Amino acid sequence: MTQSYLHAEVQGQGEDLVLLHGWGLNCAVWQKVSAALETRYRVHAIDLPGFGDSAWKAGYQDIAQVAKRLEQYLTDHCHGPAVVLGWSLGGLLATLLAIHYPDKLTRLHTVASSPCFVRKDNWPGIQESVLEDFKNQLNTDYKSTIKRFLAVQAMGSPSARDDVKLLRQQLQQKPHPHPQALEAGLNWLQHTDLRKQIEQLKVPLQRSYGRLDSLVPVQVSKQLTKLPEDQDVKIFENSAHAPFLNQFKDFIDMLS
């Protein structure tokens, strides 16, 4: 497959840190985080394919192709193996990247993410019907779908209204997402299940969750019992789905 343009905003000096955003958004969500970490890391805030300033290609409906494109970015633009942090859907992609290309990462951080977003037997997650509703609404009014998704993300947050307002402002700084990228992202959330594969992870892992999260229930933190020993779990007690908004200082301290 021909390589397509993947936009990243790079700042700072030090170890390479790659940041991957969530569904419907773009790398603008990381502006404050990047500025706070630029003396510790060389921060790469990436627009996922079809979001922000990154191009979309038809083959990217396959999540493995997106992971391969991210691996190529790391090869081309990082000075060596990098720390990769993914939030929500970005965490799913970061996990797939670490599973398939472990030599490209020094550490994996997932934030408010899950190897399986959909509720299963003995597994907490989103009702599959909710994701189906989002996909159906995409076909008629994708802007309203994104607004609704942002509202669901903020549910439970002590500053929900402010969170949604900020995320919408950041979203508007860049071009609208490609409709096929939005649909593909929902399909990845609905159909990707990495629970078995993550047990074989060869990269140090830190998982963090918001205690008040309605999209990725904090109970997920206790479900992955067969992970390698080289991992850590952090719970942000006063956060929902976006702890880097609700508990910014604690989030930066975790990475410093």
Burial code (b: 16+ CB inside 10 Å, e: under 16) for 70-90 equals: bbebbeebbeebbbbbbbbbb
For the chain, how many structural domains are there in total?
Answer: 1
Mean pLDDT across the stretch 111-134?
Answer: 96
List the catalytic residue out of 34, 54, 88, 113: 88
Residue 74 inside a domain? The answer is: yes
Residue 3 inside a domain? The answer is: no
Mean pLDDT across the stretch 90-98?
Answer: 99
Choose the weakest-confidence range: 1-15, 109-123, 129-143, 210-224.
1-15
Contacts 24+ apart (CB under 8 A), 120-127: 120/193, 123/195, 123/220, 123/223, 124/217, 124/219, 124/220, 124/223, 125/216, 125/217, 125/220, 126/189, 126/215
Residue 34 and residue 9 in contact, taking contact as beta carbons nearer than 8 Å = yes
Residues of the chain with pLDDT > 70: what percent? 98
Residue 79 inside a domain? The answer is: yes
Range of the domain at 91: 8-255
Q: Is the pLDDT of residue 89 over 70?
A: yes
Residue 92 C-alpha from the chain's centroid: 6
Residue 101 inside a domain? The answer is: yes
Which pLDDT tens digit goes with each residue over 141-178? 988 999 999 998 888 888 999 999 999 999 999 999 99
Q: Is residue 153 marked as binding?
A: yes
Q: Is residue 241 marked as binding?
A: yes
* The pLDDT of residue 2: 46
Residue 182 tokens read as 């939005």
* The pLDDT of residue 228: 74
Q: Is residue 7 marked as binding?
A: no
List the catalytic residue out of 16, 47, 163, 213: 213
CATH number of the domain residue 96 falls in: 3.40.50.1820
Which pLDDT tens digit goes with each residue over 15-72? 999 999 999 999 999 999 999 999 999 999 999 999 999 999 989 999 999 999 999 9
Residue 15: CB atoms within 10 A of its CB come to 17
Residue 2 inside a domain? The answer is: no
Mean pLDDT across the stretch 64-85?
Answer: 98
Q: At what angle do helices 179-191 and 128-138 cross, to 10 degrees?
A: 170
Closest CA to 84 of 66, 69, 97, 75: 97
Residue 1 inside a domain? The answer is: no
* The pLDDT of residue 226: 78
* The pLDDT of residue 3: 60
Q: Is residue 149 marked as binding?
A: yes
3-state secondary structure of 105: strand
Q: Quote the mean pLDDT of the chain.
A: 94
* Catalytic residue status for 176: no
How much is the pTM?
0.96
* The pLDDT of residue 1: 39
Residue 234 inside a domain? The answer is: yes
Residue 244 inside a domain? The answer is: yes
* Catalytic residue status for 241: yes
Q: Is residue 88 marked as binding?
A: yes
* Catalytic residue status for 193: no
Q: Where are the alpha helices (DSSP H) in 155-247?
A: 160-171, 179-191, 195-198, 243-246
